[in-house]
Amino acid sequence: MNWSQIFTVYRKELKDALRDRRSLISMFVVPALVIPALTLGLGTVASKAEKKARAEIPAVMIVGGEDSPAMRAALAADKRVRVEPFSSDYAKRIEEKQLRAAVEIPAGFDAAIASGAALPVVTVYSYAGEIRSGFAAGELKRFMENYRAKKFQEKLAARNLPKDFAQVFVVKDKNVAPPEKVGGATVGGLIPYLLILLCFTGAVYTAIDLTAGEKERGTMETILCSPVGRTELVLGKFSMVLTASLVTVVCAFTSLALTMTLGLSLIAGGSGPNAAPALTVSAPGLLGVCLLVLPLAVLFSAALFSVALQAKSNKEAQSYVTPLIFVIILPAVAGMMPGVELNAKLALVPLLNVALVSKEMVAGNFPWGMIALIFASTCVYAAVALRVAVGMFKRESVLFRV
């Protein structure tokens, strides 16, 4: 193996990539600008839409309760809801989003509350899954909780009992996990998912261009006539694909980190009490995840190189490569699912093992045995994929498929 020839091929492909506008857009512009802009834009739009929905005074309706004027008057006086006149088609109106929610007051509600002889059941009608209807139902439930507490306090006062008479004990929450573990538990599954996805997509364009693109342009034969061995050629081209993958990951992740750091307060509405809490993750864990990405990038680059090499044109190569995105996404998504924990068996499953151990490392947990096993197995998979790519490039039936 001639390392000088490999570097010559790599340098040539790197110069061509830096001269190619589409390569520059794929490696730098899209990950560094487009992805963070979409993330921040969508986050801002979603946050504003939620704030607007919460600020809206929802239209609700009272069903029944004609013999309970106290309850109806208290609900009508609530400034956080707007009570509409009764209509028998309230369910249809909620479904058509003309009405946000409705509350059904059983007959004899006020009398039952006063006597305590029965336990009346209040029903809240809403459109499940519709955000504004959900907010309206929440406001109605909040009112009912407050109204129930108020009536209960009145009963205690009537019997000269203290307000905390019914409280046998008090429960309070206290977090015992350090900030990085809390942040890791919150975003620990998302970080490896983004890394895996970016690592794959960053190599797609370059892998297609250096294989099927060469065939379509008719330059593959010229390259093969050069005084460079097939192994050196494929390793030089592969190195360029690997570079594109890693550059995309670095640009995208750096830009996303800056976007989330600088833009989170903007999305949340500033630095006041309504601002989003800061998320802290383990810095050594992030560094460890980045090291795990290296063999993963080799695996992706070699696999994409081998698949794209089968095609005769860019269009055909894209049809081969596109379905692979689902093969990449499914294990990464499985790593974010609750209940899927890292063990010795899952440590040998490609992609899923990296997603699971990355989630642990971001949270500040370092299972060194599993980390070593996953790193070693990923290196083995990457080496096999690279060996397959070299073997494919040496086959005339693959390079000159009719």
Residues 290-316 pLDDT 10s = 888 899 999 999 999 999 999 989 999
Segments of the chain with pLDDT less than 70 = 184, 186-188, 260-280, 401-402
Residues 378-402 pLDDT 10s = 999 999 999 999 999 988 888 876 5
Residues 186-212 pLDDT 10s = 666 777 888 888 899 989 999 999 999
Domains defined for the chain, CATH in brackets: 3-49+181-399 (no CATH), 56-158 (3.40.1710.10)
Residue 341: the pLDDT is 84
| Two structure tokens written together for 208 | 């297609």
Residue 289: the pLDDT is 86
Calpha distance 202→160 (Å, rounded): 72
Residue 186: the pLDDT is 67
Beta strands at 82-84 and 59-64: parallel, antiparallel or unpaired: parallel
364: left (phi over 0), alpha (psi -120 to 50) or beta: left
Residue 320: the pLDDT is 93
Short-list 110, 115, 122, CA closest to 158: 115
